[in-house]
Structure 1
């Protein structure tokens, strides 16, 4: 009897192990389930999505080219030097000259970049049916952004050039810390003071969906006293959400496109992903990786800028500590930024993939997650090549995300079956 009982207990203990080895749902076909979702985006819609995203590859190059042309023109024409002279005449304290120069520089470059901004930010978005604004409304938002940049650039130029004067040999290291400090301050203040300038935020109505989001937040110790909905539909057709802010400014927000265009499971999947960024401390990791990139860029600028300034006395730039040389520093940074695209894409894609896995565990809605991946592929190429995804994708591709969701479903949902998905809205 004991031998029989022992054998039974041993068999019972081995069942979970054998099941785990075989997979929870050995009959669930991940490839077929993934393909069912990928086939939702076909024909002209797939071609438009691919064309829009592939065009973005060229924008990386052209953005750098336009920046070099604009900044080069400011240097070669002597306009930058004249802006510095004007700033020097208007303020008595030398340390304030870079700040006023930063204001004048922001105004001039806003006008010079405006035609390109109109094409990339309005015309192209409208061509691909992603724009909800009139040109007038779009321009008002750009003017608001200009107002913010006038204040930020006045402070940033003052701080950076103070560092260059104080640490002429190691300014690139100290300057990196200054940039990270400004970025951290922006993350802290942005949700409260900046974002409401562009959108109206209202409390999400009470109901089962809000309760579901609150429960997900509570399970991971995320403050959820307020859940806001922004009126992003007046600007774009994109769906979005975030857990933004730092410390006392942390808040959960989603846009009205997400609420109006998706199912409750899709909303939960998106919110689980965004909560993943918060729980996994991705803000701090992003600051670290971004800071490393800035450090390298500043080091290259510190090595190249003095030589270029010495070779071009007609620019009227005295040395690196002269704010009139700002266009040169920014031109170098623009080129390096374009070259760093694979680095930037890889860092952000790594974080996004981590948040995807967290979101699947938090929301437990793999089909909702897969549906959202298809909706996001309305403006992101759905099935790129592996090298293409490695170089240019700052999020996992739709195919990668759908397959991850179907793998999670196979591994975590008892009795999982393949659904015939639809995108009803």
Structure 2
């Protein structure tokens, strides 16, 4: 019996000698060292430029808010809003049509007032940081198309909200929030089929290994994959992107051509796993629920504050909130509320992005490719922010956070995970 015990012991020791190296390798995988190896890929002038670009965005929140509020204040203080109201009501006896005419005029005028700021933030600054791919003429044409869309949507939104103000003066803010929420959902539904094609050329992803990989991932999670589109984002910017957009019958998968040309197949799979996570986890509807709350708070604040502002400025010649000439005052207060709500709005989006990251890692199983994507995105997102900086200003997890989570996932889920020396392929 003793010899049997000895033989059993020898066998156990032999088995342990086989499995111990694997266990030791897993224990040797250092998440912090692996994370730092990726973070060090973005250094020197490239890191400085990325930080400067993103940190400048913090100030853009403030300055954009001030520029927008100034535009609305000028329209009110000069009496233009009251004049435009009088002009619109003189053209038709129907309140809805008069409201829509007013909305057309207000949209055009405020667009002109803020045009220099729009050119700086949308074109000049992007070109300064090497992110702009199109000429000023082509950029301007895209802005013109966006203006045309605004001239269609804004009058409809104004007519709906002012109808609610006139019919339910006590609770119009609740109706206004609901109507705005409805417009946002409608925009989400029509974005891939009606709006995106106005700005990008959409073509089918060619047959081949990449398409087969994306289709397999989509079908495994019951995501419609009859059509997988490629958008020519490269004609506008060097950024990489992909999405699963739309609602119900309009859901579609779209990859930016930059993503395909600048990254490997594994990186594309990592990105698509993330984007599919938004669809599978129902983030569109969950985020919509949070935005419904945000809109309610915003409209309630507007309904409480705006009447007092109007009462203090009789020279504006506005009769009350129900007067369409009050629109710039309503929008001014709404702009301030939304600016103050930026951290809350960022938290809503960042929470969904974090969940989608986890889903994508589980689906694609490409932690190193995911880390490389985080570095590529950090060409225009600050890579290593402070804790409170990330909490206040980031609507996505920072590159550092994403890489560390990817490396932790690698340690936890990849048998015998080993340290590698990452290399960012040129693109």
Shared fold, TM over 0.5:
yes
Residue number in structure 2 paired with 1:141: 142
2:187 is the counterpart of 1:186: yes
Residue number in structure 1 paired with 2:324: 323
Distance 1:240 1:203 in 2: 16
Residue number in structure 2 paired with 1:162: 163
Cα deviation 1:192-222 (Å, max 9, x = unaligned) = 0111000000000111111111111111110
Distance 2:319 2:419 in 1: 68
Distance 1:274 1:161 in 2: 37
* Count of residue pairs the alignment pairs up: 413
Distance 1:187 1:115 in 2: 29
1:144 Cα deviation from its structure 2 partner: 0.1
Residue number in structure 1 paired with 2:127: 126
Q: Secondary structure of the residue that 1:242 maps to in structure 2?
A: strand
Distance 1:46 1:189 in 2: 37
Contact residue 342 and residue 391 of structure 1 kept, 8 A: yes
1:92 Cα deviation from its structure 2 partner: 2.5
- When normalised by structure 2's length, the TM-score is 0.94
Contact residue 172 and residue 302 of structure 1 kept, 8 A: yes
Residue number in structure 1 paired with 2:335: 334
Distance 2:416 2:212 in 1: 27
Q: Secondary structure of the residue that 1:252 maps to in structure 2?
A: strand
Distance 2:142 2:410 in 1: 42
Distance 2:98 2:201 in 1: 36
Distance 1:33 1:325 in 2: 57
1:23 Cα deviation from its structure 2 partner: 9.9
Q: How does 1:29-44 map to 2 (within 5 A)?
A: 29-44=30-45
Distance 1:264 1:94 in 2: 56
Contact residue 24 and residue 412 of structure 1 kept, 8 A: no
1:24 Cα deviation from its structure 2 partner: 8.7
Q: Secondary structure of the residue that 2:229 maps to in structure 1?
A: strand
Residue number in structure 1 paired with 2:218: 217
2:394 is the counterpart of 1:393: yes
Residue number in structure 1 paired with 2:370: 369
Contact residue 98 and residue 323 of structure 1 kept, 8 A: yes
Distance 1:68 1:184 in 2: 26
Distance 1:349 1:23 in 2: 35
2:172 is the counterpart of 1:171: yes
Contact residue 25 and residue 418 of structure 2 kept, 8 A: no
Distance 1:57 1:417 in 2: 38
Q: Secondary structure of the residue that 1:26 maps to in structure 2?
A: helix
1:95 Cα deviation from its structure 2 partner: 2.5
Residue number in structure 1 paired with 2:423: 422
Q: Secondary structure of the residue that 1:383 maps to in structure 2?
A: coil
2:267 is the counterpart of 1:241: no
Greater CA drift, 104-113 or 397-406: 104-113
Distance 2:84 2:364 in 1: 54
Distance 1:114 1:297 in 2: 26
Residue number in structure 1 paired with 2:77: 76
Distance 2:84 2:360 in 1: 50
Residue number in structure 1 paired with 2:97: 96
Residue number in structure 2 paired with 1:258: 259
Cα deviation 1:148-205 (Å, max 9, x = unaligned) = 0001001000000001111101111111111111111111111101110000000001
Distance 2:323 2:419 in 1: 64
Contact residue 218 and residue 224 of structure 1 kept, 8 A: yes
Distance 2:422 2:25 in 1: 22
Residue number in structure 1 paired with 2:275: 274
Residue number in structure 1 paired with 2:53: 52
Distance 2:382 2:75 in 1: 37
Distance 1:407 1:217 in 2: 25
2:106 is the counterpart of 1:105: yes
Q: How does 1:194-205 map to 2 (within 5 A)?
A: 194-205=195-206
Contact residue 272 and residue 358 of structure 1 kept, 8 A: yes
1:122 Cα deviation from its structure 2 partner: 0.3
Contact residue 353 and residue 396 of structure 1 kept, 8 A: yes
Distance 2:244 2:25 in 1: 33
1:100 Cα deviation from its structure 2 partner: 1.4
Q: Secondary structure of the residue that 1:106 maps to in structure 2?
A: helix
Q: Secondary structure of the residue that 1:25 maps to in structure 2?
A: helix
Residue number in structure 2 paired with 1:228: 229
Q: Secondary structure of the residue that 2:422 maps to in structure 1?
A: coil
- When normalised by structure 1's length, the TM-score is 0.94
